[in-house]
Amino acid sequence: METGVNDARREGRPTRPGRVGAPRAGAEVADLFRGRELVDLTLTIAEDLPCWWPTHQPFQHKIWNWYADVPAGPLVLRSRSGPYQTRWMAIDEHTGTHFDAPAHFIPREGTGLPNAGPAGEITGDRVPVEQLMGPARVIDCRRVVGAAEPGVSPEITADQVRRWEGRYGEIRPGEVVLFWTGWDRFYRPGPEGGPYVEDVLVRRTHPGWPAPGPDAVEHLLRRGVRCLGTDGPSLGAAHDGAPVHVLGLSRGMVFVEGLTGLGGLPASGAWFAFLPVKVRDSTGGTGRAIAVR
């Protein structure tokens, strides 16, 4: 029976719950988490939070069915189909904590569009879940400085990444690199949340978030990194986000953006995972990011 389970796993066939080997595997997984802490790295999304890109579809979250009719008052509610509550959402794929699949910036081959290539076939539903998880390397970029010009992001350079490696060890293939910029401190309700992205992109009254330049992304590609993350709203610079997206996504990288709480992780030693909503032909999607510390 144990041989049958192993054969099924090698061939990609599902194994039935309760077969020999399942309790042992469950115990091994439990051992991985024993004595460790799960850290939620996910932004809460709400209509009064700056969770959507300001030039895209705004996030909406509305009640569709209430437990019972409330026919009068400032909020009229209906029980259309029973005594329960449910809500509907209007949501852009790149809302809150989310990821970019290669198709976000890379058109499919044969379209005749700029930057078209094989990576354009990799939509969100085709990104393997294992690419969105792995040992985390957290690079402290809070002191990255540049011209404090409104709408302009200071650049995280390859040399800065190399200096970090000199202290904490060389980044290895399969590791997830997370840029800790501290930008999530601006993620606040109402007008106080303007500096997160609205004041940067629309009003042009606030400097942009630190973002890696193409040389830093190229360095990480050579290291074998396939997943980058940031607690800023984008891995692209506020003043020109396309170059980094085209460089990384065209070569099969994925980006996780809008993280929070990276200051609670060590520079090395945590394990990161992001699980997005799986939507056919998506350019990415919102989801839940965690770390095991």
The enclosing H or E element of 32 equals: helix 22-33
**E strand intervals along the chain:** 38-40, 60-65, 86-90, 98-100, 133-140, 155-156, 176-180, 211-212, 227-230, 254-257, 268-276, 284-292
Bridge partners of 100, per DSSP, are 255, 284
The region that residue 243 occupies, defined by phi over 0 for left and psi between -120 and 50 for alpha, beta otherwise, is alpha
Is 94 a known active-site residue?
no
- Which DSSP string corresponds to 166-179? HHH----TTPEEEE
CB-side exposure of 110: number of CA atoms within 13 Å? 2
Question: Which of 275, 268, 270, 264 shows the shortest CA–CA distance to 231?
Answer: 264
Number of Cβ within 10 Å of residue 75's Cβ equals 8
User: Which of 94, 104, 219, 245 is labelled catalytic?
Assistant: 104
Nearest to 231 by CA among 171, 187, 168: 187
Q: Residue 242 CB: number of other CB atoms within 10 A?
A: 12
Catalytic residue numbers? 104
